[in-house]
Structure 1
Amino acid sequence: MMTEESGRNEQSVLRKLAVPIVIGAAVGFVTMFGVSKLTSGDLLAGLSKAAEMAVLVGAFYILAGVGVGLGALRPRIGAKILNVEDVEELEEQKGKLLTSCIAMALWGAALIIIALGGEGGIIAPLPALIGGVAMLVIGSGFAWVSYRASDELMQMLNAEATVLAYSLTLGVVGVWAMAAHLDLARAQEPIEMLTMFYVIAMLATFIAAGRRGLLAPR
């Protein structure tokens, strides 16, 4: 009996993992394909590789925010995709998730606007700066609302992710800047630094969540 029950639990876990993995892989492929097609066209042909990478990272932020947000708006569907115990838990987390998702999407939009406003872009520098900063500030406002509504565990998770992101940024961006200053590496492009902040913030969040067991199938 224990063996059969264990087998059923394992199959349940695998099914729980399979759906988000497949969806994540599909979203990642579509994002990369779409950005590749967009930047290879005549309209954005002048973008640098660093700017293209920024657009890709920004698009990932937007799609992730929209995807999780839609799951939160449709708890019965979202419970099958997102890593939650059941529909009831997702309904309880709905408000906090939505504000967090809006923040993530706006931050992604900010990065894309800035990337499209640089050399070879399609947005004039000043409007790009105003639009990018506006998206960043408004997104931060939604993130703050989500943080204030979070329980103690999530607030501690956010604090750990922030400290980890700072350490990783100092280790990656800081060491690179040191090497560039000493002519041991090429200087960083501003858009590269901005993109790295985004990537490191996401990585730090995943690491902090993993350390607290929040990435384990539920």
Structure 2
Amino acid sequence: MTPTEDCTQHSPCRELLAIPAAERDSSLRLIITRTSDLGPDGIYVYLNDEFVALLVAMGPGESGRFQRAFPVLGHLATRWNTTYPALLSRAIENMRGDNVLVDSHDQGESSPLYIVVDQGVSGVAQLVRLEELLGFDLPYGALIGIPREHQIVAVPIRKHRDINTMEPLLRLVYNVGSQASDRLSLDVFWFHKGRLHPLHADGNNGELDRIDPPDEFLQLVEQLRR
């Protein structure tokens, strides 16, 4: 469907246009979505070639009783007299009001391990505001696991020994994700400057076998070693 077509007869446009304008802004959220599931006109924050944080609006389900996430298609921005960045900013602002639990776990000489849980709509899409949730900047990024749709496991990288937490992090991700009905990934990622770089930490039942990181990550490791 092109922007010039009448979208009022097509889902999800029909449902989105039915949301009263006064309620529309507060209904916006981001949800984690695989790029393979994206339509041609989605609005999203790019995380990597596999995952994006997709803009949705929460509206009533078919029964009228339960909320359902409807993707906000790009051509609606013009109809609503707004822009993609403005819609994304509104969604992130709404996510600040969601109930997100952040627990830290001491790891001795390494940086703490943080578990971020959002059982609401956005789940792992809370990655877009990870620094805000942790309460500090991540100039070197963090080692990240996303075993389930609603759970982020993070180890901030501050010193070289933090790299050594990759193997126990991988085991944790495997133990959680392999049993989860809402499994996302059993890999470990380097989250840096808003991008989720897969380290391809292929292993046997959570045991580290090899990694295939980007060159920038290897340069960081050498920098921290010095």
TM-score calculated relative to the size of structure 2: 0.24
TM-score calculated relative to the size of structure 1: 0.25
Structure 1 or 2: more strand by fraction: 2
Structure 1 or 2: more helix by fraction: 1
